[in-house]
Amino acid sequence: MQARYREWLAEGTSRRWMIVVGGILINLALGVLYAWSVFRSPLVAEFKWDALTATWPFILATVVFTILMIPAGRWNDRFGPMPVGVAGGVLMGIAFILSSFAPKGAANSGAAFTWLMVTYGVLAGAAMGLGYAVPVATGVKWFPDKRGLVVGLSVMGFGGSSLIFGPLANTMILQSNVWTTFFQLGIVFLVMVVVGSLLLTTTPTNWRPAGWTPPAARVAASGREEKRDFSPRELLRIPQTYMLILMYAFATQAGLMVISFAKNYLDSFKFNDIAAAQGLGWINAIPVVGYNIFTGRPAELSAALVGWLALRQPVVVPGDERRLVRHQARGGEYGIIFIGWGLAGMIGPIVGNFGVQALGGYQTGFIIAAVLGLVAGIMSYTIKRPHAREEMEAAPARA
C-alpha cells in the first residue's frame, strides 16, 4: 500500500503536497505543548501548586521531546515516516487520556504531580519527539526545490496549534473541567497524528521534482570541493554545531518562558477585564481563535492571546541547520541542533518562575530573556559554514 502511494505521489509533482497536509495535521496536534499555561491555571487552583511546581510537567516534556528527536530521526530514516508518526500519535493520545486520570483534590497534590510528570512530561514529551521528527525530514526530501517553504509550513502548524487549541481547551475547561478536557483532546490528537502520518512516505530512490536540478557543489578556497552534508558524528566534532545549539537555546528561551506562564501572567493583572474595557472584545468574534466554533462559547481574551504568542514563537533551527546540512535533512542531524530548543525549555521557564517566586514579579525573567535574545542575535552573524580544514578534521568521524 505504501509503495503504491509513493509511486502515485511521484507521478505528479503537485501530488506531493499531500505530504505537507500530513505534516501540518501532525504538528497541529503536537503543538498543544505551547498551550500549557491554559492547563496550568486550573491545576494551580486545584492543587495549590506554586508557579515552578506547576511548570515542571511542561519543562520535562520539552526535555524528553528533545532527547527523543535524535533516535526518532534515525528511526524515520530507517523505517520510514509512517510507522514512526503513527507510534507518536498513539502515544500522544494515551498520554493525554492517562493525564485525565490523575488523582484529584488538594489532598492528592503530590500524587497528582508525579502522575502528570509521567503522563504529560514523559509520555506526551516522547510522543512529540517521535511525531515532530517526521514532517520536516520527510517534507524536505519531497521538496528539495522548495525546502524553506515546506519547512515553514510544517513549523507553522506546530506554532499555530496553540492558536486553535489554546482557546478551545480553555473553553472546554470552563464548560467541564481540566480532566475531561485532557481525555477528549487525547482522542482528538490520536486521530489527527495517525491520519497525518498515514499521508507520509519516503521518496522513491533517486527521485527529483520535474525540472529541478541539484545545485552544483561549491569549491572552497583550497581548491577542494566544499562538503555539503555532515553526518551526526561529524557534527559533534566541529565548533559550529555547539554554537548553533547555544544560539538556538538563547533565541527561543524567551518565547518558551512566556508561553509557560502566559495565561497566569495575563490573569494576574486582570487582562481580560482591561482588554474588554479598551474595546478589544471583538477578538471573540474571530472563529476558533476567540469564539470557538467547536463549543459555541467565547474564550477568555487571555487564552486567545496565548495562541498568538505561540504562533510567533521562532523555530529557527530548520533554516540555520542549512549552514551545516544543506542537501538532505536527515533526522539525526536535525535532532542534534534541536538540543538547543530543549535547553531553552529548561532555561526560560525556570528563570521566569524564579523571578516570580524569589522577587515576586515577572520583570527579572523578562530582562534576562531579553539579554539572552540579544546575544543570540549577535551570534547569528558570527556562525559560518566550516572551512576546508574543519571539514577535514571532522571527516575521520565517518570511520
pLDDT at 122: 96
pLDDT at 169: 87
Contacts of 42 by beta carbon, 8 Å cutoff, 6+ apart: 173, 177, 178
Q: Per-residue DSSP letters for 83-131?
A: HHHHHHHHHHHHHHHHHTTSPPSGGGHHHHHHHHIIIIIIIIHHHHHHH
pTM: 0.76
The 3-class SS string of 31-86 reads HHHHHHHHHHHHHHHHHCCCHHHHHHHHHHHHHHHHHHHHHHHHHHHHHCHHHHHH
Q: Which helix (H) or strand (E) holds 274?
A: helix 271-277
- Ranges of the chain whose pLDDT falls below 50: 220, 225, 291, 293, 314, 326-329, 388-392, 397-399
Digit-coded pLDDT (tens) for 89-139: 999 999 999 999 999 999 999 999 999 999 999 999 999 999 987 888 888
pLDDT at 272: 64
pLDDT at 51: 76
Digit-coded pLDDT (tens) for 263-283: 666 666 676 677 667 776 666
pLDDT at 398: 46
Residue with cell 525530514: 137
pLDDT at 399: 43
pLDDT at 218: 52
